[in-house]
């Protein structure tokens, strides 16, 4: 993604995840906003953007951050505003991953994994995706493995948003350090 598309994507994430009210946008319970209104907000900061260009940015986003449906758009994950995930995940992979700083990893292994400043914990299907995210928190992230299948069987609810799995929290008994093979 070129620099301008990245800037647009980051700004779109900001308004849909954290500050829709600052831009006179209203989100429904699942975080959907009117697509045309969002484009109008983006045009104020990025005058050259139009609906088709925004659709291309969304389609090219490898992290699948956004969900476009009919005439609505939403951020799939990362919210600090209150939203509900779309659908409970019926079946999770046996193991999901979360990478974090060494300091946070020690705390997580003692107390469990909570959403911090977000509404949900974000978990990845692959070690590569988890480490990519974890490198935003630390140059040497610690990789944690989540026994997702057992956690789900014992009552932890998961939602899937694109490539990311969400949970309100993950208790400590389902978390262990990932051992590289």
pLDDT score for 154:
97
What does pTM read for this prediction?
Answer: 0.80
List the beta strands (DSSP E) in the chain: 33-34, 66-69, 72-75, 95-100, 121-124, 142-147, 159-161, 164-167, 175-177
User: 29 or 61: which carries more pLDDT confidence?
Assistant: 29
Fold of 95-177: ADP-ribosylation fold (3.20.170)
Same fold, 3-75 and 95-177: no
Q: What are the pLDDT digits (tens) for 8-53?
A: 999 999 999 999 999 999 999 999 999 999 999 999 999 989 999 9
173: which DSSP letter?
G
Residue 174 has pLDDT above 90, yes or no: yes
Residue 164 has pLDDT above 60, yes or no: yes
CB atoms within 10 A of CB 168: 14
Any idea where the domains of the chain sit in the sequence?
Answer: 3-75, 95-177
136 — pLDDT class (breaks 50, 70, 90): confident
- For residue 98, give both structure tokens: 């979360």
180 — pLDDT class (breaks 50, 70, 90): low
Ramachandran class of 165: left when φ > 0, alpha when ψ lies in -120 to 50, beta otherwise: beta
Q: What angle do CA 114, 162, 45 make, to 5 degrees?
A: 90
- The arithmetic mean of pLDDT across residues 148-165, rounded, is 95
C-alpha to C-alpha distance for 20 and 35, rounded to whole angstroms: 13
Q: What are the pLDDT digits (tens) for 109-130?
A: 999 999 888 889 999 999 999 9
Give 103's Cβ-side CA count (13 Å radius). Answer: 3
C-alpha to C-alpha distance for 85 and 29, rounded to whole angstroms: 9
Residue 179 has pLDDT above 80, yes or no: no
C-alpha to C-alpha distance for 24 and 142, rounded to whole angstroms: 39
Cβ(104)–Cβ(116) below 8 Å: no
93: which DSSP letter?
-
pLDDT score for 181:
53
- For residue 15, give both structure tokens: 């308004």
- For residue 10, give both structure tokens: 């980051």
Among 41, 44, 51, 50, which residue's Cα sits nearest to residue 12?
41
First to last CA, the chain: 32
Please determine, looking at this structure, whether the domain spanning 3-75 carries the CATH number 3.40.50.1000: no
């Amino acid at each position: 993604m070129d620099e301008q598309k990245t800037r647009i994507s980051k700004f779109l994430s900001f308004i849909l995840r954290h500050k829709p009210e600052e831009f006179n946008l209203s989100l429904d319970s699942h975080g959907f906003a009117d697509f045309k209104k969002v484009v109008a907000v983006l045009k104020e900061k990025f005058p050259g953007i139009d609906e088709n260009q925004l659709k291309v940015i969304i389609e090219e986003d490898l992290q699948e951050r956004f969900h476009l449906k009919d005439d609505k758009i939403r951020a799939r994950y990362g919210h600090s505003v209150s939203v509900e995930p779309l659908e409970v995940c019926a079946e999770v992979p046996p193991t999901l991953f979360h990478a974090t700083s060494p300091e946070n990893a020690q705390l997580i292994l003692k107390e469990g994994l909570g959403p911090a400043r977000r509404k949900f914990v974000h978990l990845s299907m692959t070690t590569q995706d988890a480490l990519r995210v974890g490198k935003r928190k630390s140059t040497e992230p610690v990789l944690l493995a989540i026994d997702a299948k057992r956690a789900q069987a014992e009552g932890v609810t998961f939602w899937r948003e694109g490539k990311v799995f969400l949970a309100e929290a993950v208790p400590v008994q389902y978390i262990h350090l990932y051992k590289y093979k």
